Every structure is written in structure tokens, then in C-alpha cells.
């Protein structure tokens, strides 16, 4: 595993795996993982930024490869013949970009490097183009959902300096029905300054695919896939995987669904007056207004006076617990739910203020967070 390295200004390759069969052993490297590396300014004396020989069943993904002098990612047999090609590897979500007039090809597979899968990459050549193959390396090739570009001459692919293909010609060979082509200035924020973040509206946004188990669910920086609401979901699988190694996320807050308003039950209390004397007969009318939808509540009413709390129904004191009345409140205006039975105002000995409170809770709960009505209150005094 070669992960999260920064490799730059090497005259040769930045990362190299050569199994060197002439040195004994089977000469094959299998199941390597090369991911989340950043490579730039390598290859002034030749050698791809990621240089692989006889590597098989391996994953090369989420690598940021820019401003290198020779190739981007190269797989071959190191001159030992097609029996030592790079076989059955996957190249996913790499961003390989060259400056205009510089470098070779973004991904080169040669010398019997067959059965490889190349998807979700942004490959923009500076002197060469995006993809280079030897004719014996396209067997079993799967190549789609890539953004391909060649800055110098408009060719995105070649069969090793024999045939050159424009984007449309390359797609015509069956490599890339879902691929796109776009200049780096259209894709990136400040590509000439080395900032290869996708910019708003970049066609690489939501245009890759996650329809392969080795496609990374997070990008080079560990950020998860993001569905940009301003871009169509044209990718395969989940529909919003980006091409390249840096998933775009807008600076705007993540949109949240418009909340569905909680049905409102308004409770109105009416004591028929606000001045009472011990021995008076007192009434409390409890009227519900419920304009939204029928709702089931546990309803309670508290009478507070003389420093104590009394709960309806049955006007018990707090120490005896609270009786709840489960009630279905229909959709009606001024629905008179309960007319609390008349009671006699008792003798009092404390100071005011005094009052009646009423509220409703979700059935079976007594938790303020589940209070589903406003807390109604009406005050009164003793004469
Ligand atoms: Ca996305
Ligand atoms: Ca989207």
C-alpha cells in the first residue's frame, strides 16, 4: 500500500513499482493499493509520476498528478515482454493534468497490459493527450466515465504513436459512452496555479460513477460524495460521484428539505372572570383550535393556587401523580374539548399570582420536548 504521500521534483518516477523478473521470484506484484498520493514536478529525466511494471490486480485511485515532465501513470512490462504487462488493474478517480506543451500521456498502458479498467479520471494532456495504449494492451479494456482532453492537438488517445483519436473517434471505438471532454480551464478553479479543485458548474461534477466496488467513496481529502443540487446527476450508480480525485462541494449550506409544520393545537382557557373569592363556584372552559389535522394528545390542566398545583382530571395534587386524558382532537374551529366541571374556589392563604395552565403531549409521554400544543395560561386573583 502506498498512500497519502507527496512525491515531487524527482528526476525519475515519483512512485515506482517494478517487480524485475530478471532478479528472480515470479516477477509480479499483485494487489497493490496506490491511493491519495500527490505527485508533481517529477520525470525531468523521464519516468512517469506513477510508474508500474508487471503490476496486477491492483488499485490506483484518488491520486493528484499535475505538472509532471514525463508521463502521468504508466503501466508496462519494463521491456521484459508482454508476459510481464500490468494486468487487471483499476484506475479510478485520478486527476492527471499537464501544463500546455509539457509531458507525455496521462495514462499509458503498454506491453501486454490488458484487462484494465479506467473510470472516473480527469486526464488532460499537455503535449500528449489523455490515453496511450500499445495495440496489444486494449484487450479487455473498460474505459468510461472519464474526462479526456489534449491541450496541444486535440487528440485524446493514441495507439502508441500510430493512430491518434479525437474524443469522438475514441468514443466511437466503444471506449466512453459516458465520458466527456473539457478544457482544464472549464474544470478547475485556478488550474494554472495548481489548484485543481473543481469549480462551480464544472462538467466533471456528478458525472462519474460508483458502479464498481473499488471506486472510492471519499476523495483525496477524505470528503464523501456530494450531490451538487445545481448539477444534473449524470453519473452511474448513485448519480452524483464526481470525476477526478477532489469531490466538489459548494460553499452554500447543504439544502435541507422544507420541514413539514407540526400540527398546531391551540388551547384557550376561559375562567369566566379573573377575580374570585373563596367559596365561589369557578369554571374553566378549555377550547381547542386545531386547523391542520386530527391529532391525538395526552391533555393536562394544572390549577395553581396557594402555593400548590392541582391537576385535572379530578384535581389531584402533584404528589398523587398526574392523570392524563388521551384525547383525539378533530379538525374543527373552536372545538370545545372539555368543560372542566365546576369547582369551588377553596380557602387560600398564599400570595398570587395564581393561574391555570393547559397543554397537550404526545400520547404516553410527559416530556417537554414532546409538548405538541402551546402552553395555555390564564391568570386570576382572589378578592
Ligand atoms: Ca458529486
Ligand atoms: Ca446533482
Residue 263: what pLDDT? 47
At residue 369, the 3 state secondary structure works out as helix
Distance CA 196, CA 199 (A): 9
Residue 199: what pLDDT? 95
pLDDT digits (tens, 9 = 90+) for 83-140: 999 999 999 999 999 999 999 999 999 999 999 999 999 999 999 999 999 999 999 9
For residue 75, the CA-to-ligand 1 centroid distance in Å is: 29
Contact in structure between 325 and 313 (CB atoms under 8 Å): yes
Enumerate residues 6+ apart whose C-beta is below 8 A from 71: 43, 47, 48, 49, 51, 103, 104, 105, 106, 108
pLDDT band (50, 70, 90) for residue 259: low
Give which of 288, 282, 332, 268 is closest to 310, Cα–Cα: 282
For residue 21, the CA-to-ligand 2 centroid distance in Å is: 47
Q: Could you tell me the sign of the dihedral formed by the alpha carbons of 188, 190, 194, 197, in that order? A: negative
Task: Give yes or no for residue 194 having a pLDDT over 50.
Answer: yes
Q: Could you tell me the sign of the dihedral formed by the alpha carbons of 218, 224, 229, 234, in that order? A: positive
Residue 43: what pLDDT? 97
Between 113 and 278, the higher pLDDT residue: 113
Q: Could you tell me the sign of the dihedral formed by the alpha carbons of 97, 57, 142, 220, in that order? A: negative
Query: Which ligand sits nearest to residue 219's alpha carbon?
Result: 1
pLDDT band (50, 70, 90) for residue 266: confident
Between 302 and 245, the higher pLDDT residue: 245
First to last CA, the chain: 86
Task: Give yes or no for residue 247 having a pLDDT over 70.
Answer: yes
pLDDT digits (tens, 9 = 90+) for 200-224: 999 999 999 999 999 999 999 999 9
Contact in structure between 296 and 327 (CB atoms under 8 Å): yes
Cell numbers at 255, concatenated: 439544502
Burial of 237 (0-12, 13-18, 19+ CB in 10 A): middle
Mean pLDDT calculated for residue range 38-45: 97
β-pairing, 73-76 vs 107-109, is parallel
For residue 187, the CA-to-ligand 1 centroid distance in Å is: 13
For residue 118, the CA-to-ligand 1 centroid distance in Å is: 19
Distance CA 107, CA 82 (A): 18
Residue 362: what pLDDT? 72
Query: Which ligand sits nearest to residue 244's alpha carbon?
Result: 1
Distance CA 173, CA 133 (A): 13
pLDDT band (50, 70, 90) for residue 147: very high
Residue 370: what pLDDT? 61
Residue 286: what pLDDT? 76
| DSSP, residue by residue, 69-91 | SS-SEEEE-TTS-GGGS-BS-EE
Q: Model-level pTM greater than 0.75?
A: no
pLDDT digits (tens, 9 = 90+) for 172-187: 999 999 999 999 999 9
Residue 154: what pLDDT? 87
Residue 353: what pLDDT? 66
For residue 183, the CA-to-ligand 2 centroid distance in Å is: 21
Q: What is the mean pLDDT of the chain?
A: 86
For residue 209, the CA-to-ligand 2 centroid distance in Å is: 13
Neighbours of ion ligand 1 (CB under 5 A): 206, 226, 240, 242
* Percentage with pLDDT > 70 across the chain: 84
The backbone torsions φ and ψ at residue 196, rounded to the nearest 5 degrees and listed phi first, read: -105, 25
For residue 243, the CA-to-ligand 1 centroid distance in Å is: 8
For residue 206, the CA-to-ligand 1 centroid distance in Å is: 4
For residue 206, the CA-to-ligand 2 centroid distance in Å is: 6
| CA dist list (Å): 186 to 48, 49, 371 | 26, 24, 53
The residues with which 328 forms a beta bridge, in sequence order, are 296
Cell numbers at 78, concatenated: 519494463
Between 236 and 226, the higher pLDDT residue: 226
Amino acid at each position: 500500500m502506498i498512500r497519502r504521500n507527496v512525491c515531487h521534483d524527482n528526476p525519475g518516477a515519483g512512485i515506482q513499482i517494478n517487480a524485475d523478473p530478471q532478479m528472480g521470484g515470479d516477477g509480479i506484484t499483485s494487489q497493490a493499493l496506490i491511493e491519495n498520493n500527490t505527485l508533481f514536478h517529477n520525470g525531468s529525466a523521464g519516468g512517469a509520476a506513477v510508474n508500474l511494471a508487471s503490476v496486477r490486480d491492483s488499485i490506483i485511485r484518488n491520486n493528484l498528478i499535475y505538472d509532471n515532465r514525463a508521463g502521468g501513470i504508466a503501466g508496462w512490462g519494463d521491456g521484459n515482454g508482454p508476459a510481464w504487462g500490468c494486468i487487471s488493474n483499476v484506475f479510478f478517480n485520478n486527476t492527471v493534468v499537464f501544463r500546455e506543451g509539457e509531458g507525455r500521456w496521462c495514462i499509458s498502458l503498454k506491453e501486454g497490459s490488458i484487462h484494465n479498467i479506467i473510470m472516473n479520471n480527469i486526464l488532460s494532456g499537455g503535449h500528449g493527450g489523455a490515453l496511450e495504449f500499445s495495440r496489444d494492451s486494449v484487450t479487455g479494456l473498460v474505459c468510461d466515465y472519464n474526462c479526456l482532453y489534449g491541450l496541444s492537438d486535440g487528440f485524446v488517445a493514441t495507439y502508441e504513436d500510430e493512430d491518434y483519436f479525437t474524443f469522438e473517434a475514441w468514443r466511437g471505438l466503444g471506449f466512453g459512452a459516458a465520458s466527456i471532454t473539457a478544457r482544464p480551464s472549464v474544470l478547475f478553479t485556478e488550474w494554472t496555479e495548481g489548484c485543481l479543485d473543481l469549480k462551480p458548474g464544472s462538467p466533471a461534477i456528478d458525472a462519474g460513477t460508483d458502479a464498481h466496488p473499488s471506486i472510492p467513496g471519499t476523495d483525496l481529502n477524505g470528503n464523501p460524495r456530494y450531490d451538487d443540487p445545481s448539477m444534473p446527476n449524470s453519473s452511474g450508480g448513485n448519480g452524483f460521484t464526481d470525476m477526478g480525485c477532489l469531490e466538489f462541494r459548494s460553499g452554500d449550506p447543504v439544502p435541507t428539505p422544507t420541514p413539514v409544520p407540526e400540527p398546531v393545537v391551540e388551547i384557550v382557557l376561559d375562567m369566566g372572570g379573573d377575580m374570585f373569592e373563596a367559596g365561589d363556584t369557578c369554571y374553566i372552559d378549555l377550547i381547542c383550535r386545531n386547523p391542520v389535522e386530527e391529532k391525538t394528545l395526552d391533555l393536562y390542566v394544572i390549577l395553581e393556587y396557594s402555593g400548590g398545583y392541582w391537576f385535572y382530571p379530578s384535581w389531584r395534587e402533584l404528589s398523587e401523580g398526574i392523570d392524563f386524558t388521551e384525547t383525539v382532537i378533530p379538525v374543527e374551529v373552536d372545538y370545545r374539548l372539555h368543560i372542566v366541571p365546576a369547582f369551588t374556589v377553596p380557602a387560600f392563604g398564599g400570595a398570587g399570582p395564581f393561574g391555570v395552565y393547559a397543554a397537550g403531549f404526545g400520547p404516553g409521554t410527559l416530556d417537554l420536548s414532546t409538548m405538541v400544543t402551546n402552553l395555555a395560561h390564564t391568570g386570576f386573583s382572589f378578592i
